[in-house]
Amino acid sequence: MARKKKVSKYVELFDETLKLVNKQDKPTLLLQACCAPCSSAVLELLSEHFKITLFFNGHNIYPYAEYEKRLTEVKRLVEIAIHDFNAEIDLVVINPQIDDYTNKLAFGKDMKENSVRCQVCYSMRLKETLDYAKAHHFDYVTTVMTISRQKCSEKINTVAEKLMNLYPDLTYVYSDFKKRGGNTRSSELCKEYNLYQQQYCGCLYSLEDKIRRDKEKEIDE
């Protein structure tokens, strides 16, 4: 007999949150976004339950040309979500501080993804998201980042949980969006709408890590 797969605790917490949401009178949700591919399936899922404001604070995206490319696709995805997902959605774009973020993450320039460097990045961008949610009185707040196969959902949720101690009046939606086929659905939507899919997470150091790995593959071949 096949063993029943254990459900992620963050999937269970997400389900519990949705039980409290009145779909007839949708509450507001501030949704931190890093790119169109990660946002696509999450928007499709959450638009049924919330009035969404997509919060694009891509300070970590290097170089600026890459930032502009990802922002263009996020804007296009918002239009898709309005027309095809029947989403009630707005977009807030924070002026990027790419050089400042690059310097703040320099301590981990030789670290790989999901390292302490990444957790510091999650923390900075999530704190900015929570500050905005508090200032603008959102009912709920969360991030799309847990849909990525390359990111550890537990680490992202743990960072959020620690930050939430500073925001007792906010409600955070814990998640593991990659589960239940979320990542597969994201890939399907990227293909359907021809969304630009980046080849590295975002910061200068993740780009340099990708370049190193590509060179290693060339040597092995």
What pTM was computed for the model? 0.94
pLDDT band for 114, please (50, 70, 90 cuts): confident
Residue 87 has pLDDT above 90, yes or no: yes
Average pLDDT, whole number, for the chain? 94
> According to the model, what pLDDT value does residue 84 have?
97
> pLDDT per residue over 61-86, tens digit each?
999 999 999 999 999 999 999 999 99
> According to the model, what pLDDT value does residue 39 have?
98
> According to the model, what pLDDT value does residue 213 have?
87
Q: Give me the percent of the chain exceeding a pLDDT of 70.
A: 96
Residue 213: count other Cβ atoms within 10 Å of its Cβ.
12
Domain boundaries defined on the chain: 9-220
> pLDDT per residue over 206-215, tens digit each?
999 999 989 8
Q: What are phi and psi of 110, to 5 degrees?
A: -100, 5
Look up tokens 């680490």; give the residue.
Answer: 155
Question: What average pLDDT does the segment 77-100 reach?
Answer: 97
Question: What average pLDDT does the segment 45-61 reach?
Answer: 97
Long-range contacts of 80-85 (CB under 8 A, 24+ apart): 80/193, 81/43, 81/44, 81/47, 85/43, 85/44, 85/47
Residue 23 near residue 49, CB atoms below 8 Å: yes
> According to the model, what pLDDT value does residue 1 have?
46
> pLDDT per residue over 21-33, tens digit each?
987 899 999 999 9
Could you give the CA distance from residue 11 to residue 176 in angstroms, rounded to a whole number?
6
What number does CATH give the domain 9-220?
3.40.50.620
Question: What average pLDDT does the segment 143-161 reach?
Answer: 95
